[in-house]
């Protein structure tokens, strides 16, 4: 018991500030998300495709890109002209739709023109826009999803909201936006909570090890404190009492009240850094990836183009699914037309087409079912309102976007368990609470506030202990 007391005391002193930071920043994070370009914002920034500028076929665009394993091609209208964006599993490149020449962006002037065109489409003020940075990393573009777009141009629009937009040097697309308010709140929210300083987070492997280790030590400190708190409880008749006085008594009592929440929250927070250590990562196996990302024969795309592109199209995408090529045209955020090889059109893929594809992924697959909005394991389509199909193949579930055929989730038993021990425990996204968001807000703020008070008592006790130690 003496060893537990000593270890808890010094781990508590070392981590009490970290606990307080996590609880306080957790409240902020619940209301202000890390900056991103939402699908609604991205699509709002797209202009109508100028069909007169499209002079080469999609097959020629793929050949010009040099990406031999290309699985998807998009046609968009940038501020400097129409371009094809060719994507493979690990590479992407933009080529001009007029002649197939490289359309990557290396000029600040072109990046500025693209940013202004994007802002104009979204009715943002860009009268004072200027390129302010060209770099691989800054505080807001550290997530790995931007790796294929680096380096990025950062353009400050100079508007009242202090909006910055980030332009991919590889494709010339706007891939991120932030506002002054988002940046300010996230400095005391996500950046603190995730221990996300640019210098550390830009090295993913180092950041992963550091935060995982700190979270594990914090969990050990909390577990030791829970043991001590329960052991030191005194009974006075039928009433529970504490043997401590002052701040120690407050720390003990609040700790007992908050024990279950603190332990589950710190444990689930540690699991957020699991990354395959204890649970599966939900990634496709190599055999499954070979089916999903198989490169098609792009010369077979020509029949799709017998139907002319709609004059209302803001984005056109060609993609391979189940060995066939499809073309889809986005004419609105929640509107699209899917063109099949034979010329048939519909809003999206059918259950039969999904079933045909999943039988190539695994055996024993049942009939794909449309995912309900309130499913315990949620997934959302790229196109709002479009169907997401779940195919259960034995113990493994595949969730596929009916709008564009993308694999949204691979859920095995381990990944389904992870959804509850991490996501549900850490964000309280239990179905019953998601159905009552106001109650969920109150519960999260209340529990995190309780954890913050508990942490502050630990800070006071730790500070007094240090003063006595150094004074002595």
The pLDDT of residue 3 = 86
**Torsion 347-353-355-361 (CA) sign:** negative
Q: Name the E strands within 69-119.
A: 72-78, 81-87, 92-96
Find all residues with CB under 8 Å of 344, minimum gap 6, and list them.
Answer: none
Longest dimension (CA), the chain: 88
Helix (H) or strand (E) holding 152: strand 152-156
For the chain, the first-to-last Cα distance in angstroms comes to 25
Question: Tell me, what's the pLDDT at 278?
Answer: 97
For residue 237, is it left (φ>0), alpha (ψ between -120 and 50) or beta? left
Residue matched to tokens 């113990």: 395
Cα 237 → chain centroid: 53
315: Cβ contacts below 8 Å, ≥ 6 apart: 43, 46, 49, 74, 75, 76, 329, 330
> Over the Cα atoms of the chain, what is R_g?
26
pLDDT value of residue 341 = 84
pLDDT of residue 472: 59
Burial bucket for residue 11 (CB in 10 Å: 0-12, 13-18, 19+)? middle
Separation between Cα atoms, residue 419 and residue 421, nearest integer Å: 6
CA angle centred on 25, ends 21 and 28, rounded to 5°: 160
Beta strand residue intervals within 248-323, DSSP E? 315-321
Per-residue pLDDT for the chain (472 aa), expressed as one digit of tens each?
Answer: 788 888 888 898 899 999 999 999 999 999 999 999 999 999 999 999 999 999 999 999 999 999 999 999 999 999 999 999 999 988 899 999 999 999 999 999 999 999 999 999 999 999 999 999 999 999 999 999 999 999 999 999 999 999 999 999 999 999 999 999 999 999 999 999 999 999 999 999 999 999 999 999 999 999 999 999 999 888 777 787 898 999 999 999 999 999 999 999 999 999 999 999 999 999 999 999 988 888 999 999 999 988 899 999 999 999 999 989 999 999 999 999 999 988 899 999 999 999 999 999 999 999 999 999 999 999 999 999 999 999 999 999 999 999 999 999 999 999 999 999 999 999 999 999 999 999 999 999 999 999 999 999 999 999 998 888 887 5
411: β partners: 397
Three-state secondary-structure class, residue 389? strand
Peptide bond into 337 cis (omega under 30): no
Instruction: Tell the burial category of 84 from Cβ atoms under 10 Å away from its Cβ (0-12, 13-18, 19+).
Output: buried
C-alpha to C-alpha distance for 126 and 263, rounded to whole angstroms: 48
> CA-based angle 408:189:175, to the nearest 5?
45
């Amino acid at each position: 018991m003496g060893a537990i007391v000593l270890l808890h005391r010094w781990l508590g002193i070392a981590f009490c500030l970290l606990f307080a930071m996590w609880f306080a920043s957790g409240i902020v994070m619940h209301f202000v998300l890390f900056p991103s370009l939402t699908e609604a914002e991205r699509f709002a920034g797209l202009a109508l495709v100028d069909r007169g500028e499209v002079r080469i076929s999609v097959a020629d665009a793929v050949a010009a890109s040099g990406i031999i394993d290309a699985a998807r091609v998009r046609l968009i209208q940038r501020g400097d002209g129409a371009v094809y964006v060719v994507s493979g599993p690990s590479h992407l490149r933009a080529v001009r739709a007029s002649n197939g020449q490289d359309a990557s962006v290396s000029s600040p002037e072109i990046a500025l023109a693209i940013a202004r065109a994007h802002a104009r489409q979204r009715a943002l003020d860009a009268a004072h826009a200027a390129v302010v940075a060209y770099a691989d990393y800054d505080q807001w573009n550290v997530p790995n999803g931007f790796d294929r777009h680096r380096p990025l141009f950062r353009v400050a629009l100079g508007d009242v909201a202090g909006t910055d937009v980030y332009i991919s040097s590889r494709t010339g697309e706007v891939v991120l936006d932030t506002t002054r308010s988002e940046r300010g709140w996230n400095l005391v929210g996500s950046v603190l909570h995730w221990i996300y300083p640019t210098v550390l987070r830009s090295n993913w492997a180092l950041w992963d090890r550091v935060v995982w280790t700190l979270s594990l030590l914090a969990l050990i400190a909390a577990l030791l404190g829970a043991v001590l708190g329960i052991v030191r409880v005194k009974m006075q008749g039928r009433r529970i009492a504490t043997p401590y006085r002052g701040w120690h008594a407050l720390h003990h009592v609040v700790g007992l009240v908050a024990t279950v929440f603190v332990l589950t929250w710190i444990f689930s927070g540690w699991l957020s850094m699991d990354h395959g250590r204890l649970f599966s990562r939900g990634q496709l196996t190599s055999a499954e990836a070979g089916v999903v990302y198989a490169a098609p024969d792009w010369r077979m795309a020509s029949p799709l183009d017998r139907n002319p592109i709609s004059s209302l199209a803001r984005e056109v995408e060609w993609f391979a699914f189940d060995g066939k090529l499809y073309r889809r045209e986005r004419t609105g955020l929640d509107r699209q037309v899917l063109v099949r090889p034979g010329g048939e059109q519909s809003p999206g893929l059918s259950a039969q087409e999904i079933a045909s594809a999943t039988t190539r992924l695994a055996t024993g697959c049942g009939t794909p079912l449309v995912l309900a909005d309130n499913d315990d394991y949620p997934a959302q389509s790229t196109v709002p309102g479009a169907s997401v199909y779940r195919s259960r193949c034995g113990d493994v579930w595949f969730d596929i976007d009916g709008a564009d055929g993308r694999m949204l989730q691979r859920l095995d038993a381990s990944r389904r368990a992870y959804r509850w021990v991490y996501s549900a425990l850490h964000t309280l996204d239990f179905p019953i609470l998601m159905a009552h968001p106001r109650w969920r807000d109150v519960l999260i703020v209340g529990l995190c506030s309780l954890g913050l008070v508990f942490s502050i008592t630990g800070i006071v006790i730790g500070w007094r202990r240090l003063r006595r130690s150094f004074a002595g």
